[in-house]
Structure 1
Amino acid sequence: MSIEFYVYEYSDPTTNEIFYVGKGKENRCYDHIADAKRDSNKGNLHKKSKIRNILKEGLEPIVTIVYRTTNEQDAYDEEGRRIQLYGRRDLGTGPLTNLNDGGTGSTSPSKEIRNKIGSAMRGKKHSAESKRKITESLTGKIHSEETKQKMSEAAKGKVCSEETKQKMSKAKENYVPWNKGKQTGYVSAGAWQKGNEPWNKGKEHMKGEDNPMFGKNHSEDTKMKMSNAVKGRKRVYRKDGSYYMIKPEVV
């Protein structure tokens, strides 16, 4: 049995205006609603926002299958034809929230659209609410090693312009470092013998139930990591009897 492909349209139930055209098979046409219900800010945000606004009204978008075929390319062609016919909102040619002209299966905005979005956003500042939402969406996320490598490669060799340096300098004005006025971990032997170590008071507050590790034990894996982290380090003593740790040379 051959696979059936189709082209579908999403319409606003309050206006009957078509706002999205897609190509799919099986239950693909309903995936956008399920995706909009999830707390995710990835993908086509214009489409998600439109669907979410409809859902907030206690309604659902009208999903209509307008074309069926067993030839996938024919489905792509029909999708592209309808997108061209109705027009895209991001191009100012129509109401559709599609980010490309269809016919390829790609959901990535074209370079032209990315440049337009960049130009429109350039110079604009995020509101406090927008910053909060961005922070919340990134909280707890960890970059993969591949992403870290890409970020590192992209930053290599880049030199900040004088204008950027001035902005960085200005941003630091009136900034008070978290450790300003605090003493470092270095303590002379004489002071130590007199019981004047700077963390004496703080140490008292970390005893018993006030200690965040109270009642907890490090896992064997954590113990191994802590052990490996200090392996090979040596103490270097100063004349006054105090010392500091140095890492072994890496050959």
Structure 2
Amino acid sequence: MARTFSSLVRKQARELQAHSRNRLSLDPLYYVYALLDPRKPGSYLYTVGDKVVAFDHEPFYVGKGKGRRMYQHLEGCNRRGTHRKVQKINAIERAGYAPIVRQLSKEEPEATALAKEILLIAAVGRADLKSGPLTNHSDGGEGPAGQIISPERRAHLSNINKGKKLSDDTKRRISEASKRRDASHLHAPEVVAKRATTLRGR
């Protein structure tokens, strides 16, 4: 019988906390987030246990953070280098858009957020492993212990939902989610200003 998302998160969180020798924070400050490509609208559905995660644009990065972390990727000081994520963000902005930022969970203890990060990266898949669109260069879970998930664990996570059938209610929720489109990024002040600057320079 397939395990539930909650039970998978609890198991992974316990392993992370034990591996860190209880150095992971218990304060409910951490969340999981995703960066989405506004140039690629569509219905992107991923299952982990009994949970379906639906995006209306293609995800290209999943991370764990607190405070303003999910927005810091878009700031100038973090936009140098050859990291796939940086290249993707720069390409999106050259096309006149801004990456869509989505917070995927409420604020939780660090081990719980890291566990969800690991499960979501495994479900969506990494571009460097040719298993999905994510630009992440690791399987997640890098807390104070710097844990990297083994190939065996990665394979186990990716196989959790193979052959899983979705209920009619889940299918309905997926359908409703896929119909929603967020076009707010097209009219964000920074995008409008960027386009105006580009047009004046022509």
Please state which structure has a larger fraction of its residues in strand.
2
Q: TM-score, normalised by structure 2?
A: 0.48
Task: Flag the structure with more relative contact order, 1 or 2, with Cα contacts below 8 A and sequence separation at least 6.
Answer: 2
Q: TM-score, normalised by structure 1?
A: 0.39
